[in-house]
Amino acid sequence: MSSMPPVVTRFAPSPTGRLHVGNIRTALHNWMCARKTGGAFLLRIDDTDAERSREEYVAAIRDDLAWLGLTIDGEARQSQRFDLYERRFAELVAAGRVYRAYESQQELELKRKIQLGRGLPPIYDRAALALTEADHARLAAEGAAPHWRFRLDSDAPIEWTDLIRGPQRFDPATMSDPVVRRADGSWLYLLPSVIDDIDLGITHVVRGEDHVSNTAAQLQMFDALGAEPPTFAHEALLTGSEGKLSKRLGSLGADHFRDAGIEPQAIVALLARLGTSDPVEPVADRAPLLDSFDFARFGRAPARFDEGELAQLNSRIVHQLPFDAVAGRLPAGMDAAAWDAIRPNLETVAGAAAWWQVIEGPVASGVDPEDREFLTAAAAHAETIDWSGDPWHALTGALKEATGRKGRALFLPLRRALTGQDSGPDMAALLPLIGRERAIARLRG
């Protein structure tokens, strides 16, 4: 893909709910496709459904993309483009490529049952094409409002080369003429999307494989409107960790990941390569992800999304984050030295607060009674060692020589008394942060 000219992609969510992980993956791959070639990534809000669309979801979509670092280069809203749709629709009416039909859902279902019973494909029989202007006038007088269908050209197969699925071929004779406009005048997805892609100069459409049959119909719409179609990439859908399509995936969105302490870099690192043979790696820098991004690397098999894998990846990325990248999310007073000391033990940045509490105190030591005399001796040694250098090794060295203790018997009681924990960050880094006075007080109990 690196030799391709700059591309223009679009992410086109409907603002009827929060983005879920599948939407996020689609947005990311559109963004990566554009960024790799120095092209443009557009956001198209598909808000033609006035009843279900909500402004709070529009705002949430923008916020989620910003949080993920998917900067947009322009935005369009379908609800503001109805005049354009009307103009292009009128061209199709004049060319005879859309036509009026009146069948109810019940009538269409009956027709399908009859066709299936006769061993025929259950597609629309184009009965409405036989209606005369007098028939239309009569139906209008009776109060019947038509819906509109796009008339497919059945003379030749519909073919294209998909960037992921390879050569595709559909026989239009086995497809129903799709409804593009409802009886109330509102638009369905297919035609406005084509009109927008033409108007916005979209060169690449990246979406899920559930849109493949839509693409077959839309290719004829591009042709009917005198436009070259974009290049298509239809991705395999995500499955849950249990190996089948999961309703839970629909509830996993950016808000869920934020609440769980997942870094946007972890989501990007996982979803950038999920479905490819490339290894998923804890990279916080997007440059290597963009360098290796290529639709030819994506397989046809469903891609498996595992929250456990994401959590592990997140932990490894947190361990790389510099202080400046997280300073605004750390407890007041926590400095770079403290971050560097506790970072290797964190699963999320939010977990730093618990370790800052360990440093600042108070802590519940949970010391075994048999270690009390040893810790009293430790407190005395802590008063005499040099705290300006490496107090932990100075303290443990002095105690080993004085008491003969070593290994776990030496280190564990000290860690418990000083931190209240059996494990955690390197004590050589932690003890200077706890400081002389707090350390002596904790050792004395």
pLDDT at 2: 45
CB atoms within 10 A of CB 74: 12
pLDDT at 245: 54
pLDDT at 218: 98
pLDDT at 1: 45
pLDDT at 290: 96
Full pLDDT tens readout for the chain, 445 residues: 445 678 999 999 999 999 999 999 999 999 999 999 999 999 999 999 989 999 999 999 999 999 999 999 999 999 999 999 999 999 999 999 999 999 999 999 999 999 999 998 899 999 999 999 999 999 999 999 999 999 999 999 999 999 999 999 999 999 999 999 999 999 999 999 999 999 999 999 999 999 999 999 999 999 999 999 999 999 999 998 766 555 677 778 999 999 999 999 999 999 999 999 899 999 989 999 999 999 999 999 998 999 999 999 999 999 999 999 999 999 999 999 999 999 999 999 999 999 999 999 999 877 889 999 999 999 999 999 999 999 999 999 999 999 999 999 999 999 999 999 999 999 999 999 999 999 999 999 8
Q: Within the chain, which residue ranges are assigned CATH 1.10.10.350?
A: 361-444
On whether 247 is known to bind a ligand per the annotation, the reply is yes
Asked if 432 and 411 touch (Cβ cutoff 8 Å), the reply is no
pLDDT at 283: 92
In CATH, the architecture of 83-234 is 3-Layer(aba) Sandwich (3.40)
Burial of 228 (0-12, 13-18, 19+ CB in 10 A): exposed
Query: Which residues neighbour 386 within 8 Å (Cβ) at sequence distance 6 or greater?
Result: 394
Q: Within the chain, which residue ranges are assigned CATH 3.40.50.620?
A: 83-234
pLDDT at 229: 98
pTM for this prediction: 0.90
In CATH, the architecture of 361-444 is Orthogonal Bundle (1.10)
Asked if 201 and 8 touch (Cβ cutoff 8 Å), the reply is yes
pLDDT at 5: 72
